[in-house]
């Protein structure tokens, strides 16, 4: 697993195990606090102190622990797991900010908005309904991925750690949906009337899109899909076939399936054809190049190899396909877009942002440059 930790609920991950992993992550966050020293590497239970010895593990110089945002998805197991996560964070002196039921894209927004030091999302996204798991964000909503911090959390959980503070943490709630939805106003504008067949199993995403489209000339037609593992790259996937049938039998301009992580998505043209992700990247890059003097883009190896000839003036570099590397490369190169063959699309906002709603906004804006059908616009 490149993004976070996953396992079957109770059999592989229970509340206690999730709490231990969350504690390991919080221990690393304590270390990242500026000018504050290092968190203990080993359990304090093995230390014997005398009155003359300083209590390094008490973190007396750290009166305030890291802010950590938490939230959980719609799976029935998630409230139990997030209870263990919150308890572990408070025990380790963290200031917990609880979003409650949420989705990863909203969590990333909230963490940036709150300027928190870390975030933990309880989710089994992209796995079956019996799965649960944890995903992590570092400061500025930087994802934690394989080869980019995930192994450090796993190693800390394996070797053990002590409490970073004797002072218990705190917990409060925060409701980001109103401001999260308001940020899209600048993206959903000047659109041509389009009929969109759309599917997403996440209630918060559906409600957000319905709210955003109330005053737009576009029409949304929802297809019901369950919360299940799906392969958005496979034309024979059951949900892909359902979208294909909807587009073939209805009068639509395009279709989109948003996966249960709220970030990954797949697009379909007006004929019902599942569109390769490198074509979506190419379509978005052409539109962004027309709007920005900065024509710096990022693609994973698979997408880059399938692109046609790169136009003069474009700077197209490669990322390793993980969420963390996409983010970091965008920051380092000041890129305006990063795409991958797996269906993740990143755009330059306050911080690099991967959100299927934002991706849809950019696709609709690009389609609105002309009256051509989606299939024709892609080939231009």
- Domains of the chain and any CATH numbers: 5-175 (3.40.120.10), 180-379 (3.40.120.10)
Low-confidence ranges of the chain (pLDDT < 50): 36-38, 42-63
Q: CB of 171 within 8 A of CB of 90?
A: yes
* Distance (Å, whole) CA 157 – CA 150: 11
**What is d(CA 58, CA 163) in angstroms, rounded to the nearest whole number?**
8
pLDDT score at 1: 67
Rounded distance, CA 334 to CA 345, Å?
Answer: 15
* 164: phi then psi, degrees, rounded to nearest 5: -80, -20
Tell me phi and psi for residue 265, to 5 degrees: -150, 160
Integer Cα distance of 211 and 89 in angstroms = 34
Nearest one of 273, 266, 277 to 360, comparing CA atoms: 266
For 22-81, the pLDDT digits (tens) are 999 999 999 988 754 445 554 444 333 433 343 434 343 444 899 999 999 999 999 999
Residue pair 367/192 in contact (Cβ under 8 Å)? The answer is yes
Res 57: pLDDT: 42
Q: What is the pTM of this model?
A: 0.91
């Amino acid at each position: 697993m490149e993004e976070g930790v996953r396992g079957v609920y109770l059999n592989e991950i229970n509340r206690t195990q999730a709490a231990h992993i969350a504690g390991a992550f919080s221990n690393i966050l304590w270390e990242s606090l500026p000018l504050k020293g290092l968190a203990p590497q080993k359990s304090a239970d093995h230390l014997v102190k005398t009155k003359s010895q300083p209590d390094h593990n008490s973190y007396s110089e750290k009166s305030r622990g890291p802010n950590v945002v938490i939230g959980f998805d719609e799976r029935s197991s998630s409230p139990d797991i997030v209870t263990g996560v919150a308890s572990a964070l408070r025990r380790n002196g963290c200031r917990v900010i609880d979003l409650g039921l949420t989705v990863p894209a909203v969590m990333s927004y909230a963490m940036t908005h709150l300027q928190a030091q870390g975030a933990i999302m309880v989710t089994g996204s992209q796995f079956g309904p019996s799965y649960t798991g944890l995903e992590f964000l570092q400061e500025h909503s930087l994802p934690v991925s394989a080869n980019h911090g995930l192994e450090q959390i796993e190693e800390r959980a394996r070797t053990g750690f002590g409490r970073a503070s004797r002072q218990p943490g705190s917990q409060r709630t925060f409701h980001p949906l109103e401001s999260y939805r308001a940020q899209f106003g600048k993206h959903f504008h000047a659109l041509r009337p389009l009929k969109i067949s759309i599917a997403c199993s996440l209630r918060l995403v559906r409600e957000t899109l319905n709210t955003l489209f109330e005053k737009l000339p576009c029409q949304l037609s929802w297809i019901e899909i369950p919360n299940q593992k799906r392969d958005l790259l496979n034309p024979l996937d059951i949900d892909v076939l359902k979208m294909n049938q909807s587009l073939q039998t209805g009068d639509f301009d395009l279709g989109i399936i948003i996966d249960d992580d709220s970030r990954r998505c797949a697009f379909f043209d007006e004929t019902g054809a599942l569109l390769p992700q490198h074509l979506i990247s190419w379509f978005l890059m052409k539109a962004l190049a027309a709007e920005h003097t900065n024509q710096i883009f990022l693609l994973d190896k698979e997408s880059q190899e399938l692109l046609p000839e790169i136009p003069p003036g474009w700077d197209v570099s490669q990322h390793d396909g993980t969420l963390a590397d996409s983010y970091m490369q965008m920051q380092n190169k000041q890129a305006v877009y990063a795409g991958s063959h797996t269906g993740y699309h990143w755009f330059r906002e306050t911080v690099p942002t991967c959100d299927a709603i934002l991706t849809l906004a950019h696709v609709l804006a690009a389609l609105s440059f002309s009256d051509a059908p989606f299939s024709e616009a892609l080939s231009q």
